[in-house]
Structure 1
Amino acid sequence: MEPDQNQTSPNLSPIETTYIQLGFDRVRELIAKESHSEPVQQQLLELVPLLTISQMKFRLEKIRALWEFWRSSAPFPLRHFDDLAAVLKTLKAPGALLNIEGFLILRPILEQFRLLNHYFETRVTPENIWWHWLKMMTPQPRLETAIDRVMSPEGYILDHASPELRKIRSAIQRTEAAVRKQMDSLVAFYSAKGMLTDDRPTIKAGRLVLPVSSNAKRQVKGVIQDQSHTGNTTYVEPLEIIDLNNKIRSLQSDEIREIERILRALTAECHSEVAAIGESY
């Protein structure tokens, strides 16, 4: 037998049971589907009917004012945004580190603050019901600029995020170029002797290696990093580039530490404004 669609769970409160019987839960779901972001959707799903006439009048007045804005001027500059709760929790902790993903959540919300503030600032007067809400929203152009100075919209930490990072990445590029040049020379040399199974170097265990015929592996000085499943190819890191590869590894560790320092400094900037960000959100 199929369950009765109108049957309610015995665990629901009387008020929730009434909502379901009246179809209010279905109304909430339909409205939530039209929302532009997950936080708003969750708020809509948690809506409850208003209990007093004064509450209803206040809400209707706010809706009427919004409708007037919408009808008489440009639409609201609303965009999708993610839940900021976890980001705010991190920013509230002194000395915390907000990761790149956190800044990618925060950045568009800061832009949303600025766009909405500008929209209402040019349209709302002190007599308007939305005036108090406008005063609670604080644009953060300084933080927007600080984030844009450090990372791209995709979350890549820019070379000019700090002089030290630029220096490290330049050193990595120079060393990688030296490795490629040395490997090209070694490939040409060993390939001419028929000692390679492929004319292209490859990566094994994070190291650049030569695909050497296993029969000739003792003729190539270096460190064996791997072997093919067939046993026909031995992957050798040539002695000539080991120091260069080690230097690259060291520089990459320096790069990670510098990026962490940059993000920690940026987090500290946002920490100083976390109260205003939370209130605006």
Structure 2
Amino acid sequence: MSSKRLQAFTLALTAFLAACSPINVLNALTPSSTFTKTSAIAYGADPRQTLDIYRPVPAISNAPVVVFFYGGSWNSGSKDDYGFVGEALASRGIVVVIADYRLYPQVRYPAFLQDGAQAVAWTCKHIAEFGADPAQLYVMGHSSGAYNASMLALDARWLNEVGLSPSVFKGWIGLAGPYDFLPIENRDVRPVFFFPNSPPDSQPINHVSAGAPPALLLASTDDKLVNPTRNTGGLASKLRAAGVPVQVSYFTKTSHATLVASISRPLRWLAPVLDRVTAFIQATDPVGSSATQSPTK
């Protein structure tokens, strides 16, 4: 297919996505030949405390591993909706763990961070059984999932509860994350953080320290939900001031939602998000870079 026809097709697909369930369409167009999936592994006692694992095909020994948390304002979302993320990263030679976590109104802050810490602890203990190297561990998220990832990487309290520390991460990756959002404007999010008495220690930007893992922060310039200047830009500045390695990229063709959707094969033309994530993992982990595969479309 020519480049013009491909772009016309993807533009038509984007319009189609707006008229139906976008995630269902993306997953329907996601190939299954690049990964094997192990579903619904329990990392805790609650029904929401389960995770899926995506492994590259062909299998790779001692592959890097990414624990991914999806967004949804801490009150919606399912790991089953993000198979396109698992496929994309697995196609680059990365083992992917996508974890569900408890949501509001079942829980409020900080219970979902405690769930995330448990999912990371399970990964550290068991992921070698699935061909990955726990010494090459990254945490990644989109939107509120990027918040979860950032808090696990920056605020040691949550991993300390499970006998670990943020030093288990080779790096962390945030897509369109809210890292500095008090006072809370989003009415759906307010009860999650006890508005108007939202605790300042709930903000990732207040937990930056010199020992934090390297970060990759990606955002859309046209993000109407999470202000990229205040959140991505502000956190990046504070990380740099603390001497923490941080890479930042802003994209003009994506929105808040399509930033993560651009990881999928049909929408990869929107932004090189998958390439940036893969390059970050290779750059921060020279050992892991020999295991990751060359980019595939």
TM above 0.5? no
Which has the greater radius of gyration? 1
Q: What's the TM-score bracket when you normalise by the shorter of the two chains? A: under 0.3
- Kindly indicate which of the two structures has a greater share of residues assigned to strand: 2
Higher helix share: 1
TM-score (norm 2): 0.23
